């Protein structure tokens, strides 16, 4: 046996069972031959490689906001932001993804924390990213030289290869969440990264109320005639809470007035879109805001691909597969591929949730599916 063969990582076991050949010395020799030539026969792998439907390795898991903020603020005291890590970002690690900093097989979710006066230096990368602010304000994210204010409820997408830096101009620390397609880029070996300037210019640190991108793109139903071409990611860098909130409360009001406006009784939802083409804000990430009227329950549904939710406001109960949690502001949880989800608001308060998922990837390859598990009419208040 050559050394190469001795190092073969292929290990095949003869298994008894339906569809498997009977163990014999000859079969044993055949399997050792496969190992030496780095070959794996499909019949020893089929159950795991080609299951009848997605069986996610990711676990449904919940992270409590209180713990995330507590640990992030300790990191704020102990760990500087510099050219090393570039960001004081702390990733959610799904318990069944081998200790990797991945919330789901495709998605990165992190809490990021900046102390007063701190800068997270400029860089750019091919991974698509966004910020969502569950509480606080005072940080400006500077994207391609355009300074964008971040406040509670705002959603701030940053398409791949845009230069970006963050700056805390306030007197209080601030936390927010980041979502990126880092695991997807990693598995598909498609990443690029570059360092930018270490310091922002004075003009970029004194920030106007509205960014250039909002003045150009932030008018409902209107696009600048000077920009007729669609772009693969959104040029609008901030989707403000006042607009999202109004869209959700209008849907629930319309439902009360007898119009068909909601996903199911008492369950309003909106999707953030790219104003140049009406599609998802980012090529790999879909983002939505959901509101359940007090006492309302969503359909129970499952989808191909994974999502991460963050409770924005209110209290309720979420069921993900076999797991069930009471949730409140800031709590984050994972919906793995093809695991059923049901959301329910407590009787005395609405429940608002931010959601991001990888559906655009699967839609692009015609592999996306949704299945509603409960019969229509069984959901709702």
**Footprint of ligand GTQ (CB under 6 A):** 87, 89, 110, 112, 125, 164, 178, 180
- Residue whose CB is less far from ligand GTQ, 159 or 180: 180
Largest CA distance in the chain: 79
- Residue whose CB is less far from ligand GTQ, 30 or 97: 97
- Residue whose CB is less far from ligand GTQ, 269 or 332: 332
Name the one residue in this structure whose structure tokens are 């705002």: 154
CB 133 within 8 A of CB 312: no
The Cα 336–Cα 355 span in angstroms is 13
- Residue whose CB is less far from ligand GTQ, 180 or 248: 180
User: How long is the chain?
Assistant: 381
User: What single-letter DSSP state applies at residue 101?
Assistant: S
The Cα 54–Cα 339 span in angstroms is 9
Nearest C-alpha neighbor of 88 from the set 68, 106, 105, 65: 68
Write down the least CB distance from residue 92 to ligand GTQ, Å: 10
Write down the least CB distance from residue 200 to ligand GTQ, Å: 14
Bridge partners (DSSP) listed for residue 90? 111
The Cα 304–Cα 23 span in angstroms is 38
Write down the least CB distance from residue 144 to ligand GTQ, Å: 13
Write down the least CB distance from residue 186 to ligand GTQ, Å: 12
Write down the least CB distance from residue 78 to ligand GTQ, Å: 18
CB 245 within 8 A of CB 360: no
User: What single-letter DSSP state applies at residue 297?
Assistant: B
The Cα 354–Cα 313 span in angstroms is 10
Name the one residue in this structure whose structure tokens are 């900046």: 114
Write down the least CB distance from residue 166 to ligand GTQ, Å: 6
The Cα 55–Cα 366 span in angstroms is 19
CB 196 within 8 A of CB 124: yes
Tell how strand 332-335 and strand 286-292 pair up.
Answer: unpaired
- Residue whose CB is less far from ligand GTQ, 87 or 286: 87
- Residue whose CB is less far from ligand GTQ, 179 or 275: 179
Write down the least CB distance from residue 94 to ligand GTQ, Å: 15
User: What single-letter DSSP state applies at residue 15?
Assistant: -
- Residue whose CB is less far from ligand GTQ, 181 or 350: 181
- Residue whose CB is less far from ligand GTQ, 139 or 345: 139
Name the one residue in this structure whose structure tokens are 């939505």: 288
- Residue whose CB is less far from ligand GTQ, 89 or 308: 89
The Cα 66–Cα 248 span in angstroms is 26
Write down the least CB distance from residue 112 to ligand GTQ, Å: 6
Nearest C-alpha neighbor of 94 from the set 367, 373, 323: 323
Write down the least CB distance from residue 17 to ligand GTQ, Å: 45
Q: Half-sphere exposure of residue 167, counting CA atoms within 13 Å on the CB side?
A: 22
Structure tokens at 153: 């409820």
């Amino acid at each position: 046996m050559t050394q190469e063969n001795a190092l073969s990582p292929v290990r095949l076991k003869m298994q008894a069972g339906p569809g498997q050949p009977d163990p014999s010395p000859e079969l044993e020799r055949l399997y050792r031959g496969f190992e030496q030539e780095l070959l794996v026969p499909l019949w020893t792998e089929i159950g795991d490689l080609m299951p009848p439907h997605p069986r996610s390795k990711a676990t449904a898991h919940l992270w409590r906001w209180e713990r995330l903020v507590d640990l992030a603020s300790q990191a704020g005291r102990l760990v500087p932001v510099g050219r090393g890590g570039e960001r004081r970002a702390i990733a959610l690690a799904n318990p069944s993804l081998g200790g990797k900093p991945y919330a789901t097989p495709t998605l990165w979710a992190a809490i990021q924390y900046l102390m007063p006066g701190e800068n997270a230096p400029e860089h750019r990368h091919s991974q698509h990213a966004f910020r969502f602010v569950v509480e606080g304000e005072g940080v400006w994210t500077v994207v391609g030289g355009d300074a964008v204010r971040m406040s509670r409820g705002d959603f701030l997408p940053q398409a791949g290869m845009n230069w970006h830096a963050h700056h805390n101009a306030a007197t209080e620390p601030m936390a927010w969440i980041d979502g990126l397609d880092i695991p997807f880029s990693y598995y598909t070996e498609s990443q690029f990264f570059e360092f930018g300037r270490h310091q922002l210019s004075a003009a970029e640190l004194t920030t106007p109320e509205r960014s250039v991108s909002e003045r150009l793109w932030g008018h409902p139903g209107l696009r600048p005639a000077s920009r007729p071409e669609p772009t693969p990611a959104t040029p609008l860098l901030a989707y403000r809470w006042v607009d999202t909130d109004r869209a959700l409360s209008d849907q629930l009001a319309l439902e009360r007035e007898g119009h068909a406006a909601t996903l199911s009784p008492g369950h309003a939802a909106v999707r953030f879109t790219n104003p140049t083409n009406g599609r998802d804000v980012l090529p790999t990430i879909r983002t939505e805001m959901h509101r359940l009227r007090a006492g309302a329950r969503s359909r129970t549904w499952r989808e191909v691909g994974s999502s991460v939710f963050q409770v924005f406001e209110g209290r309720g109960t979420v069921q993900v597969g076999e797991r069930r949690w009471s949730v409140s502001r800031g709590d984050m949880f994972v919906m793995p591929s093809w695991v059923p989800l049901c959301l329910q608001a407590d009787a005395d308060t609405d429940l608002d949730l931010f959601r991001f998922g990888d559906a655009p990837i699967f839609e692009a390859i015609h592999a996306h599916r949704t299945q509603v598990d409960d019969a229509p009419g069984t959901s709702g208040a």
